[in-house]
Amino acid sequence: MKIVFEPYAFEYLSIWEKHDRDCYKILSGNANEKEKLEALKKAALFYRVARNLPVKYDNNLRYGHVLDILENIKTSDFKDTPIDKIIEIESRISQKYGNRSVLSLTTKFLWLKIKQPIIIYDSQARKAIGTKDGKLKEYYDKWRNDFHLVEDEIKKACDRLENLHLYLPNQREGLKKDIKKISNESWFHERVFDIYLWNSGSVQ
């Protein structure tokens, strides 16, 4: 059965405009510490991973240790062995918060910091993909394979997004132009696939 990706494309566009756009701008830019901590808090609540960072392990608005770890991370750090680097960063965060499992949280925060080549690891997406819990390489390999099978259909769905700008609640200046630009980006196509997987995994 052919998958209709238009609803998932618009759903991620809405998330980008309402949430991810500002978080990415703050975490990847030169914002001050307070702004970055607030962006991490916002992201943790939105993506429902805040529970993985118990307050008792961090008195700095709960996300101080995470920010310290993320601050010096660059895209080039993931050039050769991205999965190994993600696991390393997850381990560092986990050690600061009682050795809890923080793989999903780590990939979500990393994506909001550098976007590609990070692929977000999520429990619902993992169910849709059909890989074992915690097996990041297996998940990445299967995710990429499945994405490439539908990539052209996702691109076609994203091509139509600029005509839907009036359906977004925030009608900011330059919105239509920005939509046209980001909807052609490969990172945007990947996130549309994420939304499809999250929706698929939620009904399994």
Residue matched to tokens 């132009």 = 177
Residue 98 maps to a domain = yes
Domain count, the chain: 1
Residue 107 maps to a domain = yes
Residue 1 maps to a domain = no
Q: Report the largest interatomic distance among the alpha carbons of the chain, rounded to a whole angstrom.
A: 51
Residue 137 maps to a domain = yes
Looking at residue 60, its pLDDT comes to 64
Cis peptide before 54 (omega within 30 of 0): no
Angle (CA) 145-129-28 rounded to 5° is: 75
The pair of three-digit structure tokens given for residue 108, joined into one six-digit string? 């979500």
Binning the chain into helix, strand and coil, the percentages to the nearest 5 are 70, 0, 30
Residue 35 maps to a domain = yes
The pair of three-digit structure tokens given for residue 40, joined into one six-digit string? 């991490």
The structure's pTM equals: 0.93
Residue 148 maps to a domain = yes
From first to last of the 204 residues of the chain, give the pLDDT tens digit.
689 999 999 999 999 999 999 999 999 999 999 999 999 999 999 999 999 998 888 766 789 999 999 999 999 999 999 999 999 999 999 999 999 999 999 999 999 999 999 999 999 999 999 999 999 999 999 999 999 999 999 999 999 998 888 788 888 888 889 999 999 999 999 999 999 999 998 765
Domain extent, residue 42, equals: 6-201
